[in-house]
Amino acid sequence: MQLREVDPKQLSLALRRLRQVPEGDVRDKLESLRSKGQMSPLVAAEHEGQLVLIDGFARQAAAVSLGMPSVLVEVLQLTAVQMKAQIYLRNRERGLGLIEECRLVCELCEVEGLSQVDVAALLERHKSWVCRRLGMWKALSPRLLAEGGLQELEGGSVRRLALLPVCNQEELIAVSRRQALGARDTTALIGLWAQAPDSEARRYLIDHPREAIALSRARAQESKDPRLGKVAAEVLQSMVMMRQSALRAIRKVRAGMEELRTDGAGMLRDACELAERDCPWAVREVRRYLPVAKEDT
């Protein structure tokens, strides 16, 4: 590892496709560079005669915009696979977006030829994490992915969208663009589509998205119990769901379960131990915040 002063325009942006670089982030970095200067080095790898940028894409864009003649760069010696892995590993605390994770996993599997097990080891994740992201990438519309039409969506909305046929994905995003809904309203639209009971309800969503979203939010507001605040209402819902899940498990076990393999029994045993530990803990934590009930006199 070494530090170098490098012209920001000379850094290769070959891996920029694996990162989302919102204009707002670039503006923030621009102001920071202008007022405070460069606080930490960019990270690049020397590869085939070029310095390929790995971390600091927003800062590089801001430096170019400011006309800075050079930036401080930490230079590493990495393979092509290691460079891509570092994009994820160096951003674990801040977190990559779900689409970024899916794209990276796809590149490592389909471009670099790694197995899902190898990718899991490389990124220090479980193989099921890799499998889910690869499956999601393949389920999403290739056209929307190529256009960057899903970048601003929340992770939950991306997951719901991936469950729909590609034609429906593209139709919903087309409605979002046509109506200039924004990320929050697009998330609401996808959620309403997933909950729609029939084709008539879905057609109403397509024809009148803003009205449907407004109506949904008004109903949600009306349904709030005035005796509870927002957090208390969410905690109450969690307690109710916990009890419902417990009763459902009891009914299923009493109805009889199929014979379990040794590894399956181990999984169930581990889940029981975690539930036995965490569920009573959750109830105790909630009780700590309840006011002491006054005894009848």
Rounded distance, CA 262 to CA 99, Å?
A: 36
pLDDT at 104 over 90: yes
The neighbouring-strand residues paired with 53 are 44
pLDDT in tens, 22-39: 888 899 999 999 999 999
Question: What pLDDT score does 133 carry?
Answer: 95
| Strand, coil or helix: 140 | coil
The two three-digit tokens of residue 195, written as one number = 């909950």
- Contact 20/151 with Cβ under 8 angstroms? yes
Instruction: Please indicate, yes or no, whether the overall pTM of this predicted structure exceeds 0.75.
Output: no
Rounded distance, CA 105 to CA 101, Å?
A: 6
Backbone angles phi, psi at 140, to 5 degrees: -80, 155
Q: Is 256 left (phi over 0), alpha (psi -120 to 50) or beta?
A: left
Domains of the chain as residue ranges with CATH: 2-80 (3.90.1530.10), 140-222 (no CATH), 227-252+275-287 (no CATH)
Burial class (CB in 10 A: 0-12, 13-18, 19+), 75: middle
pLDDT at 178 over 50: yes
Question: Nearest Cα to 56, choosing from 69, 74, 77?
Answer: 74
| Strand, coil or helix: 92 | coil
DSSP state, 111? I
Question: What pLDDT score does 257 carry?
Answer: 79
Rounded distance, CA 247 to CA 143, Å?
A: 44
Q: Which residues contact 58 (CB under 8 A, 6 or more apart)?
A: 21, 22, 25, 26, 28, 29
pLDDT band at 44 (very low <50, low <70, confident <90, very high): very high
The DSSP code sequence of 174-191 is HHHHHTT-HHHHHHHHHH
pLDDT band at 172 (very low <50, low <70, confident <90, very high): very high
Backbone angles phi, psi at 55, to 5 degrees: -140, 130
Average pLDDT over residues 59-70: 95
- Contact 72/110 with Cβ under 8 angstroms? no
pLDDT in tens, 257-272: 788 888 888 889 989 9
The two three-digit tokens of residue 6, written as one number = 């490098």
How much is the mean pLDDT over the chain?
A: 89
Count of other CB atoms within 10 angstroms of residue 101: 22
Question: What pLDDT score does 296 carry?
Answer: 46
